[in-house]
Structure 1
């Protein structure tokens, strides 16, 4: 039961924050090529086949870096909870 969501429907916001904080930390995540091609336009140009692209690729991110992203998300959640408590 550890993965039970306390707030239903929070996945999209958490996922958005994940990419937001990764970007703020200077981490390049998201759609990546299976090989080392710059893939923003590569599939549109036919240089890299679409099958070679991974939609949600974080494999090159270290545990320390992904922990920093998770820590930033946790800090944001605590900040929002404190705001709710202060305003009630």
Structure 2
């Protein structure tokens, strides 16, 4: 059986992408490619700071390791589970 990573709720795609950039920013992962550790509060600004992001394209993030990217994914999962538990038990 083929494994697919399809989004069950397509409307959540933008929220998940924003969460991804916010967590990566908190971990300090994207700072090196955007001018040396620039800290930003809003995830939407990450794609517009210097490099390919300023032209509207996807910025090159080849300096990130699989471990770094996995830590972001793991944190997203932790936060989503925490939100679900809070909504169930409140």
TM-score computed with the length of structure 1 as normaliser: 0.65
Which 4+ residue blocks in structure 1 deviate beyond 6 angstroms?
none
Assess, with a 3 A threshold, how the Cα gap between structure 1 residues 3 and 78 changes in structure 2: closer, same or farther. same
User: Structure 2, unaligned stretches of length 5 or more?
Assistant: 35-48
Q: How does 1:9-88 map to 2 (within 5 A)?
A: 9-28=11-30, 40=50, 54-87=57-90
Query: Which protein is bigger by CA-based radius of gyration?
Result: 1
Q: Which structure has the highest strand share of the two?
A: 1
State the shift of 1:85 in Å: 0.8
TM-score computed with the length of structure 2 as normaliser: 0.63
> What's 2:9 paired with?
7
Q: Which moved more, 1:9-18 or 1:53-62?
A: 53-62
User: Structure 1, unaligned stretches of length 5 or more?
Assistant: 33-38, 45-49
**Take 1:18 and 1:76, find their aligned partners in 2: how far apart are those partners?**
11
Q: What secondary structure does 1:57 align onto?
A: coil
Higher RCO (CA 8 Å, separation ≥ 6 residues):
1
Q: Which structure has the highest helix share of the two?
A: 2
